[in-house]
Each structure stands twice: as C-alpha cells, then as structure tokens.
Amino acid sequence: MGTSTDGAAVVRILERAAANMAENKTLLLELDGVIGDGDLGITMEKGFAAAAQAARGEAGAEPCAEPGAVFIKAGMALAAKAPSTMGTLMATGLMRGGKAVGGKPELSVEDMKAFLAAFFQGVMERGKAKPGEKTLLDILEPAVQAMQAYTGSAVAELWKEAEKGAKRGIENARAMESQHGKAAVFREKTRGLEDPGGRAVYILVKSFAEALGA
C-alpha cells in the first residue's frame, strides 16, 4: 500500500466524496428531516460536487498543486456553493486541514494525522461546540483517536482505521442529546436518533479510505 498522498490523490478523494454524498442524498435528507432543516442531502451533494471540481482545477495546474493547496481550494469552493451551517463546517475542516499540511508535495501517515486533527479543531472552533453534544465532532473525535493509535505507514490503512473510529462514533452519539441548531429544540427526543451531520462526516471519512485504498 502507498505511504504518501499527492495532489492527484486528493482529487480522487474529493471525487469519491462527491459521488458518495450524491449516492447518500436521500438518506441524509431523511435523517435531517427528523431533527434538522431537511436539506442536508442537497447541501452536501452540491457542496462536494463544487469541491471536487475545484480540486480538479487546482491539481491540473502546472506544476501540480500540493495536497494542502488542493484541500484549501476545495474548501473554499464548498463554502461558496453550500453556505449553510454544515457546508461551512465541512469547508472549514478542509481548509484548516489543508493549511496544517501546507508546503508538502506529498502527505505521509503523520501528515494525514495532522490533517484530520486540524479538521477536527477547525470544526470545533467554528461551530463553538465540543464532543458530547451530539454533533459531527462526536464522529470526528474517535476517527482522530483511531488515527493517532495507528502505528503503520500505509495511508489507506490509516484512513480505514479512521473510518472504523467514525463508525463507532455514530453508534455512541445515538445515546446523546442534541445541543445545537434546530435539533436542540427536541433535546431528549433526539436520544436514540442518528445525527445527520455525523453521518455526513462519516461519509467523508469513508471516502478517504475508499479512494486511497482503490
């Protein structure tokens, strides 16, 4: 398995994310319709389609852009196309992650760990939330922890571990009460339900694992 990720690989990741968001649009709409505004599937489909398009343009430049620059450009496009709360958080994560690994022509396992840690921190700061409040942070945090525990050198394996951590996060978050956004109105009624934003970020993490493992 590969031990590094270049700009072209980032394009593949974002293209996979765009395809997966489109494929899961109905699921995201259904989840968001229960405790949210009901438009998350549309937002994520449009946002990541724009992110993938921007990534292709950035990576196609001469010389090929560094991975960090591709992530930043993709995040900017996502923010412009999907200026909703979730779109802004996802865009912030991509841009913060890209900034954390800026200047590197290829990303190693340690760089990818830094990327997701910065993604998590950026979302936490921008969303003014913390783990335990039934948000995407409760899916990101175990993904970051799973990455930190990985001691190998294969980036695909690293993201597979992150995917497993994110999946655990989805299940653990079901028992929590929503503290933010429209879902906060329902409070205790959100116990046992899946957080829509958490599912969206799981799809993104899964897209990294799939694209890098292909």
- The tokens describing 132, both together, are 């335990």
d(CA 32, CA 151): 36
Average pLDDT over residues 115-139: 94
The predicted structure's pLDDT at residue 190: 57
The predicted structure's pLDDT at residue 63: 54
What are the domain boundaries of the chain?
A: 7-213
- The tokens describing 79, both together, are 């923010």
d(CA 175, CA 3): 37
The predicted structure's pLDDT at residue 182: 53
Residue 36 has pLDDT above 90, yes or no: no
pTM for the full model?
0.91
Least confident span in 7-11, 44-48, 69-73, 178-182: 178-182
pLDDT-derived band at 180 (thresholds 50, 70, 90) equals low
Please state which CATH class domain 7-213 belongs to: mainly alpha
